[in-house]
Amino acid sequence: MPWILDGNNLARGGNRERVRRAALALARTERIRIVLFFDGAPPAGSPDTERLGPVEVRYVPYADRAILDVVSPRGRGWRVASDDRALAVRVRAAGAECVAASSFWEKAASAEAKAPAEEHSIGTATLDGVERLVDAPARVPRRRRKKG
C-alpha cells in the first residue's frame, strides 16, 4: 500500500532531511511508493517536486490540502502518516487509512536497520560525521528481481 507523508508534521519543526532519508529507506525495503508533502518552499536550488526513485517529494503551500487532493478521488489504497487529528478525520472520511507518526517512524527505523550499509549512503554525503542529503537528489538504483 503506498504511503502519503505529512512531512512537516513528521519533522515536528525539525530536520526535513531526516524525514526524506527515512522515506527512502522505507520505500526501498518495503518496495512501495511514497509521496511526501512539505509545507512551504523547497530548499534553494531544488524543484517544487523531486523524484527520488519510489519517493516523490512535493513542496506545496498547504500540505493538508494537497494530501486531501490526492486521497479524495481514490481514497482506498493509501496510508497517510500524520498526527494532525483534523487531517486524519478527513483522510478517513475519504476512505484512506491514517496512521500515527510513531507508526511511520517505527517502520522507517526497522527499514533502516534491514538495509545494507551501502544503501544508507545513497543520495547522502557526510559532513562532520552527520549524514545529510546532498543538494541535488541522487538516482535511487532499482534492485533486480531474481527470476525463478
pLDDT in tens, 83-113: 999 999 999 999 999 999 999 999 998 888 8
Question: Collapsing DSSP states into helix, strand and coil, what is residue 113?
Answer: helix
Please state the domain count of the chain: 1
H-state helical runs in 12-62: 16-30
Tell me whether residue 62 is in a domain: yes
Residue 141: inside a domain? no
Mean pLDDT of 29-43: 92
Instruction: Calculate mean pLDDT across residues 39-49.
Output: 90
- Which residues have a Cβ under 8 Å from the Cβ of 69 and sit 6 or more positions away? none
Query: Considering the domain boundaries, does residue 30 fall inside one?
Result: yes
Can you tell me the distance from the alpha carbon of 74 to that of 78, in angstroms, rounded to the nearest whole number? 8
The answer to whether residue 18 sits within a structural domain is yes
Question: How far from 45 is each of 17, 21, 42, 111, CA to CA, in Å?
Answer: 15, 19, 8, 29
Does residue 146 fall inside a structural domain? no
- The confidence band for 146, taking pLDDT boundaries of 50, 70 and 90, is low
| pLDDT > 80? residue 132 | no
Average pLDDT over residues 110-118: 71
We report the CATH number of the domain holding residue 79 as: 3.40.50
Q: Which stretch of DSSP H or E encloses residue 111?
A: helix 101-114
140 falls within a domain: no
Mean pLDDT, to the nearest integer, of 117-129? 41
Mean pLDDT of the chain: 81
**Greatest CA span in the chain, whole angstroms?**
47
Question: What local confidence, expressed as pLDDT, does residue 62 receive?
Answer: 94
pLDDT of residue 77: 83
Q: What is the pLDDT of residue 142?
A: 55
3-class DSSP state for residue 12? coil
**Domain housing 34:** 3-133
In this structure, is residue 142 part of a structural domain? no
Identify whether 147 is part of a domain: no
Q: Which of 23, 101, 87, 109 is nearest to 58 (CA)?
A: 23
